[in-house]
């Protein structure tokens, strides 16, 4: 029996133009009416998640930074994992030395630091997420022991793929994974969506077998391996679909609603 539902955001909970369909919204509200917790699990920072939940009028727990920061529905911190200073320094130096035309983002709790808020990629991300970036000197943050939950690299797809491969080899203590063709997420090795889900399951006194997870991309695989029921969106890449208990409709076609109503979970 499903007692808790976890869902990725981009490509899963949201359509391609960053909306929640009416059917998806209804499905979530029906879950909550049945006292089944619905938890958004995303690489996004909290300030890029709350505008979504506020718009549809729900207050729910969230797992941010792909498991690096876990918040209750009252926005209390259950778990926070940052990257060690030595690893932060080393990976930032490797990025600056090795690649040009990339945008580096430094996320700390509920704050987002960049080198230039006018960078076109940063402005695009602010438009999409409704979060606000702040200018900062990363060296100064590190000197003040303000360490990131996540470093995000924005770049063109071939560079993103190359950086994932090369930085992954260079930094075994870090988790380096693409969350889209253009985005590379860097966190402590212990962090994954499964990490955050386990924290949330403990909070609710539930088991992984009682959990259902919706997702669409490579950074959802750890979630799929953990939960009792893994439901992959129809728009997912083929290699991701092999982790599914079932494949549902696409994010554009309200795949979350389709699955939950098909099996009378709502």
The dihedrals phi and psi of 244, each to the nearest 5 degrees, come to -85, 140
Q: What percent of the chain has pLDDT over 70?
A: 100
Does residue 218 carry a pLDDT above 90?
no
**Which 3 state secondary structure label does DSSP give 125?**
helix
Tokens of 239: 């290699």
pLDDT of residue 199: 98
Does residue 178 carry a pLDDT above 90?
no
Q: Average pLDDT, stretch 47-75? A: 97
Tokens of 229: 């029921």
Count of CB atoms situated within 10 Å of the CB of 16: 11
pLDDT of residue 64: 97
Predicted confidence (pLDDT) per residue in 75-95, tens digit: 999 999 999 999 999 999 999
Return the closest-CA partner of residue 250 out of 3, 4, 24, 5: 24
152 Cβ neighbours under 8 A, 6+ residues apart: 43, 104, 105, 107, 183, 184, 185, 186
Q: Average pLDDT, stretch 100-111? A: 97
Point out the residues that are catalytic: 8
Please state, in angstroms and rounded to a whole number, the distance separating the CA atoms of residues 12 and 56. Answer: 16
Name the pLDDT band for 104 (thresholds 50, 70, 90): very high
Count of CB atoms situated within 10 Å of the CB of 119: 16
Name the pLDDT band for 180 (thresholds 50, 70, 90): confident
Does residue 152 carry a pLDDT above 90?
yes
pLDDT of residue 219: 86
Instruction: Work out whether strand 38-41 and strand 4-7 pair parallel, antiparallel, or are unpaired.
Output: parallel
């Amino acid at each position: 029996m499903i007692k808790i539902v976890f869902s990725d955001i981009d490509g899963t909970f949201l359509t391609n133009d960053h909306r929640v369909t009416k059917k998806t919204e209804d499905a979530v509200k029906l879950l909550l009416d049945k006292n089944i917790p619905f938890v958004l699990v995303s690489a996004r920072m909290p300030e890029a998640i709350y505008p979504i939940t506020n718009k549809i009028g729900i207050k729910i727990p969230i797992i941010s930074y792909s498991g690096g920061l876990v918040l209750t529905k009252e926005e209390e911190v259950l778990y926070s994992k940052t990257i060690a200073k030595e690893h932060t320094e080393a990976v930032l130096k490797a990025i600056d030395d090795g690649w040009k035309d990339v945008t580096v983002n430094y996320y700390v709790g509920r704050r987002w630091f960049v080198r230039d808020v006018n960078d076109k990629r940063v402005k695009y991300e602010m438009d999409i997420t409704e979060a606000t970036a702040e200018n900062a000197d990363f060296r100064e943050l590190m000197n003040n022991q303000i360490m990131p939950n996540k470093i995000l690299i924005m770049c063109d797809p071939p560079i993103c793929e190359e950086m994932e491969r090369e930085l992954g080899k260079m930094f075994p203590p870090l988790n380096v994974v693409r969350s889209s063709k253009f985005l590379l997420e860097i966190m402590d090795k212990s962090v994954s969506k499964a990490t955050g889900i386990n924290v949330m399951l403990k909070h609710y006194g539930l088991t992984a077998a009682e959990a259902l997870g919706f997702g669409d991309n490579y950074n959802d695989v750890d979630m799929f391996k953990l939960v009792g029921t893994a439901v992959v969106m129809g728009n997912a890449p083929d290699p991701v679909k092999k982790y599914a208990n079932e494949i549902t409709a696409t994010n554009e076609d309200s795949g979350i609603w389709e699955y939950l109503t098909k099996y009378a979970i709502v």
